Structure 1
Amino acid sequence: MSSAAPVKPNVFKRLLGYSRPYGWRIALAAIGSVGVGGMDGAMAYLVEPVLRRIFSGKETAIFVLLPLGIVFLYALRGLCRYTNDYFIRSAGQLAVQDVRNDLYAKNMSLSIGYFHRHETGTLMSRVLSDVSMMQEGVGQVITGLFRDGLSAVALLGVIFYRDWQLALISFVVIPLTVVPARKIGKRIKRVARQGQEKMGDLASILQETYSGIKVVKAFGLENREIERFRARNRDFYHFTRKNIKYEGLSTPIMEFITSFGIAAVIWVGGSNVMHGTKSASEFFSFITAMVLVFNPIKRLLTAFNNLQRSMGAAERVFEVMDEKPEIVDAPNARDLGKARGEVEFRDVRFKYEDDYVLQGVNLTAKRGEVIALVGPSGGGKTTLVSLITRFYDPTGGQVLMDGVDIRERTMKSLLEQIALVDQETILFNDTIANNIRYGRMTATDAEVEAAARAAFAHDFIQELPEGYLTNIGDRGVRLSGGQRQRLCIARAILKDAPILILDEATSALDTESEQMVQKALNNLMQNRTTFVIAHRLSTITHADRIVVLEKGVVAEMGSHDDLLQAEGIYSRLHGMQFRA
């Protein structure tokens, strides 16, 4: 059957490569397989001498011992089968665990742009659903090759030993099954891949609605989301139904084709018995082996179909494995060391696909300066600071730190110099202490508390049931918006990096909290280069320079007072906010 497999060799080879570390488990499973296959062959072979000695030789002692022998053989066969199943399935589970670990690690190594291009639910589906399907298919194939393959070989040996002519008659039809097996297998693989893509769509809807349940509830759109989920679920069923159809067709077609061989054997063999050229016991032994051999062959066919489904999932998994990160260290990249904090944008251009977001930006931030970035939405503010962290590389021009192009430094050493507080408060389903410690995992409890005090978060933390050991839930759902933002600021304070990026860092705070945190940030900014993105202009009047970005270019630059007097874009935005 395996000769008909339309499987990409490299995909299957890569899958088997994950099983090599668990070779001893597979070896034990193989020993169990030899036992199962040997028992099947032995039972088929012993039919003839046992029946001959009972019915022709009248040896009643054998007849008495026969039930005990059958029980013993099946007990031994069951032990061998358990050994085979346990060790082959545990080896498969360990191998798939390694695949899932490698896939997750690969995801973590990919650039930010990759995650912006792919839905979160689709990425989750590949790590969870696709890998599980790989496990199911490959596990069954390995089991089939060892246990069912050896059983089939042993039984075929008995069949050809008993009567090679009848054996040829019974199996002359087997090559005819190759063509339908190949065609059905190809369709199962294609449909399985499409079905996994639809499963990714389902996962995306779940991720979106669960994370945005407050919006769904607030706008009363539960029914809309239910209908959207039902539509995607219906699409998934469409492909699952096709898969069921093709898998359901394979066994009846194979059985129908092989029935011609069975019919021919019964006709020819039965005629030989009636004409006295073959004994009844020999014919029964042959028939027993032939009936038994079709069971492992059918299981091999089922395993083949499952392999096609798992290969569709495996191709999706290895597509991610083979994805090349867009942002990588240069071959000669060196560690940055402790940066002074000077940042320069030199004729920087950047575009998403065909649209330029930044066009010829020139800007220098000296050590300890506070640079505020303002302007209309879509002007390129967040994109500009994302180039400092190398979330993206510029399409043209250079970003320099301490006079050296940051592409000549290692990513790890570069990011150690930067602390980020984003407009989206990203917290994890963990304790408050561990969320703050994300800024520096080696920090002591005292350092964590000091950072929380500096961010004016200590007081509300102390009021929580378990203080710093309080679990804050998924994305910090058990905290208010202002509390979440202050934890993010504490995390940045703890990192103690020479460069700060504050993207709307105080946007979620009430007036009182904003004043406290602004004082903490002002202290933190001393002797640190700080880039502040702000729409609330009252928070950046203290900045050394305010840079107005509009349509990807620097439209204005200067101090708060200078820009107000210039009566340009900044003055207009300032006037609009104060009138409001």
Structure 2
Amino acid sequence: MSAPHPLKRLFGHARRYRRDVWLASLYSVLNKFFDVLPEVLIGVAVDVVVNRKDSFLARVGVHEPKDQLVLLAAVTALIWVGESLFQYLYDVKWRTLAQNLQHDLRQQAYQHVQRLEMGFFERQRTGNLMSILGDDINQMERFLNGGANDLIQVFCSSLMVGAVFFALTAKLAFLSLIPVPVILYGAFWFQGRLAPRYAGVREAAGTLASRLSNNLLGIATIKAYTAEAYEAEHVRQGSDAYRVRNAEAIRLSAAITPVIRMAILAGFTVTLLYGGFLTLNGELGVGSYSVLVYLTQRLLWPLTRLADMTDLYQRSMASIERVMNLIDTPLAIPYEGRHLPAGSVKGALTFDAVHFAYGEQPTLQGISLTVPAGHTVAFVGTTGSGKSTLVKLLLRFIEPQRGRILLDDTAIGEANLQDLRRAIGYVAQDSFLADATVADNIAYGLPTAGRDDIVAAAVAAEAHEFIAQMPQGYDTQVGERGQKLSGGQRQRIALARAILKNPPILVLDEATSAVDNETEAAIQRSLERVTRNRTSLIIAHRLSTVRHADTIYVMEQGRIVEQGTHDALLALGGQYAALWRLQTGERAGGNPIADSV
């Protein structure tokens, strides 16, 4: 079963604009009706000058030639006013519709993207998504701005001019209008072959955007490794692929206009010659002949724009298809579920035989543990042991393949996703900061917070001192992704953000692994205060960060291999004790290596 047409899919998502579409289309039709009439009036004027009291107007009751011309002038003025009025109306209506639909579609697409599971983003390139949300939606707007009106008016012009032809002389009409179906068929023939080419163009554009986005985000690394020429070559290859795809489409679309011109020439020549012969033989009036010549020009010449219209149409359809496919991407993790009212969450967690694997590689193998409300637990182990996957499962970035996780007595898979995440404060290794002020970033997710609460959270995170020294204090702009701040400053603002949220559960995923010793000490002091009476999960490589946890779990290849307090694990002499000696430089007996040097 073939997929619905992109336009049908588009307007299926924009039902509230259907009235605007119908009105805009009506204005386009009325404008074309008034646009065709001046050519008819030229023929009537020629008829008045040539036949005078025997003219068409004389036969309908206006006998004096001068009165006939005055009437024609008045009617002409009305026609031009009508044409101008409806041109204004359709222009405003189509452009407003384009802007509104563009805005709504981008919002709808972006909001849907935010609801997709993290696995979707691991499969997609950021640049490709940016291309869809940006240029593809803009391409749709360009089509509605002008292309839709052009298509409607070409269709209406063909019908209206054809009706006039047949009313004046059916014999000539058949011959003169033969090129029209040929032209329209040719345009659709080209259109069908352009569609896959422009789909390829949009894919190439997305690939190029991904490369550019990736390089701009990693510009420091590119410079540090003097890889400018290497990456410039990658961009050249992506740009060249985009250019080649465009060239394939251009070669085909450029052929449309010459073919249409030849068909137009045939139609115009038939009207000029055959109509002229009929007029010379007295079978067709001079005025009617003038009308037919002008109308042939008016009908056929705009058809040369079918090339541009077809090109714009196919580009837009390819873009709309990509946008609609993104919006129609199903949600793997539903948002709806049992509500968890604010303040009712105690924070007890249970991992019950949880399994998870990325592809064929198991990451968690039957993890079972219980975290009482208000306790602090830590997860340590080598890279790839499954520590961060536990956090992703708790936040429902991903779903377990077997087993379940309980928050208090509710399986988190049955809970409302937004309520679940509101109950968790999350601080990652590389915390995201918005391109906004320091205050805005601390209040991120809690925009109603007052300045006093923001400052109190910054004080608790030991961030107030350096914030106060900034040029505008809490109103200082941090730059894109917080680039105006050091790594340690970003982490302390991220911690202040979690503290302000005041969640029953706090999760720190390698929050101190990339900071200096002074910042780590500051964060550690903050954690000792904010984790009291709050369920806290800490993932860390630096064991000094977790030594005061109520329970420490040592993980290896997706399993818990040791658990206990810091002192108990050191006494056990297993993997944790070995990691501790490695990081602190202590020998098995507990003396620093430095003491023996």
What TM-score do the two structures reach when normalised by structure 2? 0.89
- Worse-matched range after superposition: 447-456 or 7-16: 7-16
Structure 1 counterpart SS, 2:254: helix
Structure 2 counterpart SS, 1:323: coil
Q: State the one-letter code of the partner of 1:49.
A: V
Aligned to 1:259: 265
Q: Measure the CA separation in 2 of the matches of 1:204 and 1:120.
A: 6
Shift of 1:358: 0.7
Shift of 1:555: 1.8
Shift of 1:60: 7.8
Q: Measure the CA separation in 1 of the matches of 2:13 and 2:257.
A: 30
1:337-486 map, 5 Å: 338-486=344-492
2:296 is equivalent to residue 290 of structure 1: yes
Higher relative contact order (CA 8 A, sep 6+): 1
Q: Measure the CA separation in 1 of the matches of 2:153 and 2:266.
A: 26
Q: State the one-letter code of the partner of 1:310.
A: S
2:537 is equivalent to residue 542 of structure 1: no
Shift of 1:378: 0.8
1:138-537 map, 5 Å: 138-299=144-305, 302-329=308-335, 333-335=338-340, 338-537=344-543
Q: Measure the CA separation in 2 of the matches of 1:183 and 1:300.
A: 12
Q: Measure the CA separation in 1 of the matches of 2:549 and 2:121.
A: 33
Q: Using a 3 Å threshold, how does the CA distance of structure 1 residues 135 and 555 change in structure 2: closer, same or farther?
A: same
Q: Structure 1: give runs of 5+ residues left out of the alignment.
A: 1-6
Q: State the one-letter code of the partner of 1:180.
A: G
Shift of 1:361: 1.0
Shift of 1:407: 1.2
Aligned to 2:104: 98
Q: Measure the CA separation in 2 of the matches of 1:328 and 1:57.
A: 79
Q: Measure the CA separation in 1 of the matches of 2:173 and 2:145.
A: 31
Q: Using a 3 Å threshold, how does the CA distance of structure 1 residues 18 and 532 change in structure 2: closer, same or farther?
A: closer
Contact 1:40–1:154 under 8 Å retained in 2: no
Structure 2 counterpart SS, 1:486: helix
Contact 1:333–1:407 under 8 Å retained in 2: no
Contact 1:40–1:155 under 8 Å retained in 2: no
Q: Using a 3 Å threshold, how does the CA distance of structure 1 residues 90 and 300 change in structure 2: closer, same or farther?
A: farther
- Cα deviation, 1:428-472, whole Å, max 9, x if unaligned, reads 000111100015222211111100000011111111111111111
Q: Using a 3 Å threshold, how does the CA distance of structure 1 residues 329 and 101 change in structure 2: closer, same or farther?
A: closer
Shift of 1:125: 0.8
Shift of 1:473: 0.7
- Worse-matched range after superposition: 220-229 or 419-428: 220-229
Q: Measure the CA separation in 1 of the matches of 2:13 and 2:412.
A: 37
Q: Using a 3 Å threshold, how does the CA distance of structure 1 residues 218 and 407 change in structure 2: closer, same or farther?
A: same
- Worse-matched range after superposition: 117-126 or 568-577: 568-577
Residue 557 of structure 2, aligned match among 551, 556, 561: 551
Q: State the one-letter code of the partner of 2:87.
A: R
Q: Measure the CA separation in 2 of the matches of 1:70 and 1:241.
A: 46
Q: Measure the CA separation in 1 of the matches of 2:86 and 2:409.
A: 69
1:61-140 map, 5 Å: 74=80, 77-140=83-146
Aligned to 2:568: 562
Q: Measure the CA separation in 2 of the matches of 1:12 and 1:194.
A: 19
| Root mean square deviation of aligned Cα | 2.6
2:586 is equivalent to residue 576 of structure 1: no
Q: Measure the CA separation in 2 of the matches of 1:232 and 1:89.
A: 33
Shift of 1:346: 1.1
Q: Measure the CA separation in 2 of the matches of 1:49 and 1:526.
A: 94
Q: Measure the CA separation in 2 of the matches of 1:27 and 1:143.
A: 12
- Cα deviation, 1:539-569, whole Å, max 9, x if unaligned, reads 1111222211111111222222222233322
Q: Measure the CA separation in 2 of the matches of 1:537 and 1:194.
A: 51
Q: Using a 3 Å threshold, how does the CA distance of structure 1 residues 554 and 19 change in structure 2: closer, same or farther?
A: closer
- Cα deviation, 1:258-300, whole Å, max 9, x if unaligned, reads 4333333334223323333323332221111111011344445
Q: Measure the CA separation in 2 of the matches of 1:274 and 1:26.
A: 47
Q: Measure the CA separation in 2 of the matches of 1:555 and 1:182.
A: 67
- Worse-matched range after superposition: 45-54 or 358-367: 45-54
Q: Measure the CA separation in 2 of the matches of 1:231 and 1:36.
A: 47
Q: State the one-letter code of the partner of 2:472.
A: E
Contact 2:48–2:69 under 8 Å retained in 1: no
Contact 1:37–1:151 under 8 Å retained in 2: yes
- Worse-matched range after superposition: 191-200 or 46-55: 46-55
Contact 1:423–1:504 under 8 Å retained in 2: yes
Residue 40 of structure 1, aligned match among 35, 42, 55: 35
Q: Measure the CA separation in 2 of the matches of 1:548 and 1:113.
A: 26
Q: Measure the CA separation in 1 of the matches of 2:492 and 2:24.
A: 56
Contact 1:209–1:225 under 8 Å retained in 2: yes
Contact 1:336–1:414 under 8 Å retained in 2: no
Q: Using a 3 Å threshold, how does the CA distance of structure 1 residues 25 and 212 change in structure 2: closer, same or farther?
A: same
Q: Measure the CA separation in 2 of the matches of 1:361 and 1:556.
A: 12
Q: Measure the CA separation in 2 of the matches of 1:30 and 1:563.
A: 76
Shift of 1:366: 1.3
Q: State the one-letter code of the partner of 2:262.
A: F
Q: Measure the CA separation in 1 of the matches of 2:210 and 2:474.
A: 33
The percent of aligned pairs where both chains have the same amino acid is: 34
Q: State the one-letter code of the partner of 1:261.
A: G
Structure 1 counterpart SS, 2:373: coil
Q: Using a 3 Å threshold, how does the CA distance of structure 1 residues 91 and 262 change in structure 2: closer, same or farther?
A: same
Q: Measure the CA separation in 2 of the matches of 1:404 and 1:199.
A: 45
Q: Using a 3 Å threshold, how does the CA distance of structure 1 residues 8 and 139 change in structure 2: closer, same or farther?
A: farther
Aligned to 1:49: 44
